[in-house]
Amino acid sequence: MNLAPAMDKSVSEDEWVSCLWRIRTAADQEAFARLFRHFAPRVKAFLMRGGADAALAEECAQDVMATLWQKAHLFDPEKASAATWIFTIARNRRIDAARRSKRPEPEDLPWGPEPEPDAADAIGLQQESARLVKALAELPEAQRHLIERCYFGDMSHREIAAETGLPLGTIKSRIRLALERLRHEMK
Amino acid sequence: MTTIKHHISDEILTGYAAGVLPEAFDLAVATHLSLCDECRARAMALEAVGGAVLEETETAEMAPGALDAVLARVAGTAPEAPPAAQPGTVRRKDSVLPMPLAEYAGGSLDKVAWRSVGGGVMQAVVARGDDGATARLLYIPGGTEVPDHSHHGLEMTLVLDGAFCDRGQRYGRGDVQIADETVDHTPVAEPGAACICLAVTEGRLKFSGLLPRLAQPFLRI
């Protein structure tokens, strides 16, 4: 019974993956609209929680969604869920707004997104991402709020380092499987 | 790539995934991640937490017509085509500087504008943000003590070539030493070839305004 919400989540994760795929391969505006209706209000709220006013958050959220269209080919369902990928775009947009410079990114891996992602790997990663969402929702409220503040950009790196209540150990055990999958893939 | 022993701490990697590190530290982390698959995987897992936060977060209603506005903006352009696959090609252009660092350092090691700081040691500042955090390349002749580049706060030293030893530990290519003002350390370059490293230090504590934050005056007294 307990699995039902996670299963529902993984169904929708798959849907987002297929929407991104349809944008990439067919410039599918209906798929884009579905992603937009789900994610744009989340990105906007995410940016506002990080301190942006509503107008700036609106503008940046639109930029993020435009980037999603333009860069759909960079999405790799074997390495990230749609939500994770969109989070990184929103995070980078927030940094660009603050610094007026690009965030340094690691060198490209010798292998990029594959033309045809491996379905089993992609499904496995999407399911683990769904479980991570569930695990986050089940954390004690105080810990969950700390993690949220951290990712909203509402805590400095000094605060993160000094914060003993941040459940990094808990997060680490929750993401162990995702981590092992990634490490395995990189070998 | 498998010989890296000294990795990036959870706290700094979380700061990187959350996007709250000063630019100079982002540069050091991105450079280490280019050399260390283990930390790259950890960083990707920490980004997955960000995805979960985004998924679980409340929503803020978009402006009326926002979807149409974005569609109008992008619909004329097809999504970018994936770059042609080039299996087996080495993307690194410089054998010492991974790509993110090379981009900050003029393209390659031979373009670095070194300045002598005495004793054969040379340095070149490659990034200095408004937040005061600074990333500099250091060239330390073999057997020479690494100059004290820290004043206070967090510091990261990433070895790019050669090696240094500190307090019984050896740091080679890709290894990171993380320290703060409480750590008394005197790294010494190994005898032989020069040690080249990226040293990142924090500036004075300043309120780094990522975006205007209404809450800041209340949270950071």
Cβ count near B182 (within 10 Å): 6
Q: What is the pLDDT at residue B104?
A: 94
Q: What is the pLDDT at residue A7?
A: 44
Are A107 and B98 within 8 A, CB to CB?
Answer: yes
Quick one: DSSP state of residue A69? Answer: H
Long-range contacts: B209-214, Cβ < 8 Å, 24+? B209/A98, B210/A50, B210/A51, B210/A94, B210/A95, B210/A98, B210/A153, B210/B20, B211/A47, B211/A50, B211/A51, B211/A52, B211/A56, B211/A94, B211/A97, B211/A98, B211/A153, B212/A51, B212/A52, B212/A53, B213/A50, B213/A51, B213/A154, B214/A51
Interface of A with B in 104-133 (CB under 8 A): 104-108, 110-113, 115, 128-129, 132-133
Q: What is the pLDDT at residue B221?
A: 25
Is B125 among the domain residues? yes
Token reading at A32: 């884009």
Å from B151 to nearest chain A CA?
16
Average pLDDT over residues A32-55: 95
Are B82 and A112 within 8 A, CB to CB?
Answer: yes
Cα angle at B163 between B158 and B169, to 5 degrees?
85
What is the tens place of the pLDDT at every residue in A88-112? 999 999 998 887 667 888 887 655 5
User: How confident is residue A178, by pLDDT bands cut at 50, 70 and 90?
Assistant: low
Distance (Å, whole) CA B115 – CA B117: 6
Nearest to B10 by CA among A155, A59, A168: A168
Are A95 and B19 within 8 A, CB to CB?
Answer: yes
Is B219 among the domain residues? no
CATH of the domain at B121: 2.60.120.10
Domains of chain A, earliest start first: 4-186 (1.10.1740.10)
Show pLDDT as tens, one digit a residue, over chain B (221 residues).
458 999 999 889 999 999 999 999 999 999 999 999 888 888 888 999 999 999 998 999 999 999 999 999 997 777 777 666 554 444 556 789 999 999 999 999 999 999 998 889 999 999 988 888 999 999 999 999 877 655 568 889 999 999 999 989 999 999 999 988 777 778 899 999 999 999 999 865 433 344 334 333 333 32
Are A106 and B34 within 8 A, CB to CB?
Answer: yes
Nearest CB to B19; choose among A74, A94, A172: A94
User: How confident is residue A83, by pLDDT bands cut at 50, 70 and 90?
Assistant: very high
Q: Which residue of B has its CA nearest to A163?
A: B11
Interface of B with A in 91-150 (CB under 8 A): 91-92, 98-101, 103-104, 129-130
Q: What is the pLDDT at residue B41?
A: 83
Å from A74 to nearest chain B CA?
7
Average pLDDT over residues A139-149: 89
pLDDT at residue A113 tops 60: no
Distance (Å, whole) CA A4 – CA B190: 58
Sign, Cα dihedral of B90, A102, B81, A38: positive
What is the tens place of the pLDDT at every residue in B39-63? 888 888 899 999 999 999 899 999 9
Name the residue range of residue B178's domain.
10-56+94-201
ipTM tops 0.85: yes
A80 close to B52: Cβ distance less than 8 angstroms: no
pLDDT at residue A41 tops 90: yes
For residue B33, give the H/E element and its range.
helix B23-35
Q: What is the pLDDT at residue B55?
A: 94
Interface of A with B in 4-23 (CB under 8 A): 23
Q: What is the pLDDT at residue A120?
A: 77
Looking at the structure of chain B, the number of domains it has is 1
Residue A145 sits at the chain B interface (C-beta within 8 Å): no
Quick one: DSSP state of residue B164? Answer: E
Is B186 among the domain residues? yes
Mutation to test the B interface, candidates A166, A182, A185, most B Cβ within 10 Å: A182
